[in-house]
Homo-oligomer: A and B are copies of this chain.
């Protein structure tokens, strides 16, 4: 049995997130189905994170244990031939037996896409959240810098979460404009449940003046979920990068 790290992209629109659950289609399930079709064996597959229903991924890492002799592009091609159109694997490589895609991740980067045109945009429906009042990306970028550093992010965690340690270190937080899109990019050593979507909701409240542009340090210090903004919708969120120590993931080369 080899442990194989698969890296995939998926359009999360029609999935109830990554993790297998009853009565709902998930990315983990369709990937396990695809592996079973090409290997004849149903392997357990472990993901780098849960993701919510409707969230997208440009880079999602998961590991499976399998006897398949396929590696690299051949394994990608075999899986992509049987996966649905909205999920595709673009890297497959053998890793150490003890590698774990979740616990070994040093961090992740997410992007959140806001479409800031005046009228609906057919190509962004389900792929960016439409905000039709003009957004000041420079103002939001300055406010986002207050997320940087090591803080207790309890105010930015969905209520009901059972996580005990809510301290995380944000290493990158920026807002940029690309034409009609305004994109929030954030990297951290880990994320709490709904953390990025609450960060975005807070920036949107700053954009309307409901929350002061210098209020993020106070909201962090309060550890009070009610002080932060609303949870922004799932469809604007993309998992963009998962970071591993090179030594964890690169024990063998692609074949």
Name A residues whose Cβ lies closer than 8 Å to a Cβ of B: 9-11, 56, 58, 73, 76-77, 80, 85-90, 117-123, 125, 127
Given A85-B120, A90-B118, output 15 extra A-B contacts at Cβ < 8 Å: A9-B123, A10-B122, A11-B125, A56-B123, A58-B123, A73-B119, A76-B118, A77-B119, A80-B119, A87-B122, A88-B119, A88-B121, A88-B122, A89-B119, A90-B119
Q: Which residues of chain B are within 8 angstroms of A89 by Cβ–Cβ distance?
A: 119
Please name all residues of chain B whose beta carbon is closer than 8 Å to the beta carbon of A85 when the two chains form the complex.
120, 122, 125
- Whether the Cβ atoms of A120 and B73 lie closer than 8 Å is no
Chain B: which residue is nearest A8 at the CB level?
B122
Other-chain residue from B10, B56, B122 in contact with A86 (beta carbon distance below 8 A): B122
Residue numbers in B under 8 Å from A80 (CB-CB):
119-120
Q: Which B residue sits closest to A83, measured CB to CB?
A: B120
Number of copies: 2
Between-chain CB contacts (< 8 Å), 21 pairs: A9-B121, A9-B122, A10-B122, A11-B125, A56-B123, A73-B118, A73-B119, A76-B118, A76-B119, A80-B119, A80-B120, A85-B125, A86-B122, A86-B125, A87-B122, A88-B120, A88-B121, A88-B122, A90-B117, A90-B119, A123-B127
Bound together, the chains give a CA A217 to CA B196 distance in angstroms of: 54
Report the separation of the CA atoms of residues A227 and B77 in the bound assembly, to the nearest whole angstrom: 33
Q: Which 4 A-B pairs have the closest CB atoms?
A: A88-B120, A11-B122, A90-B119, A85-B125
A112 to chain B, nearest CB (A): 16
- Which chain B residues border A120 with CB–CB below 8 Å? 80, 85, 88
* Complex interface: chain B residues within 8 A of A127 (CB): 123
* A138 to B: closest C-beta gap in Å: 25
Docked-complex contact A11 and B123, CB < 8 angstroms: yes
User: Roughly how many angstroms separate A123 CA and B76 CA in the complex, as a whole number?
Assistant: 17
Residues of B within 8 A of A10 (CB): 122
A88 to B9, CA, bound (A): 28
Q: How far is the CA of A125 from the CA of B127 in the complex (A)?
A: 14
Measured CA separation A8–B125 after assembly (Å) = 15
Q: How far is the CB of A218 from chain B (nearest CB, A)?
A: 37
A127–B125 alpha-carbon span in the complex (Å): 14
A88 contact set on B, CB distance < 8 A = 119-122
Chain B residues near A56 (CB, 8 Å)? 123
**What residues of chain B lie closer than 8 Å to A122, measured between beta carbons?**
9-11, 85-88
